[in-house]
Structure 1
Amino acid sequence: MAYDHNIWILMVITVFSSCNVYGEILTHCGDEKISVGDSHSLSCSDLPSDISNGINVFHDGDIIISCNKDNKTCTSTDAGRYTLISPHTEFLNFTITSIQSTDAGKYICADSASKPDEGTSKFCTLEVQEDGLKDGEIAGIVIGTIVLLLFVVLISYALIMKKCVIPKRGG
Structure 2
Amino acid sequence: MTAVRKPRYQNHDPFNAILREDWIKSIALSPDSFEAFLYRPVDQSTSDDSESNYEEETVTELDTNQDTLTYSNPELVPVLDCPGEQESFFMMDDNGDNLGEGPDPLLLRIGSTHVPTGTVLEWDEETASGTRTVWWYVHKAMGYGAAQVGVIYVCIPMRDFNQAPATE
TM-score bracket for this pair, using the shorter chain length: under 0.3
Q: TM-score, normalised by structure 2?
A: 0.24
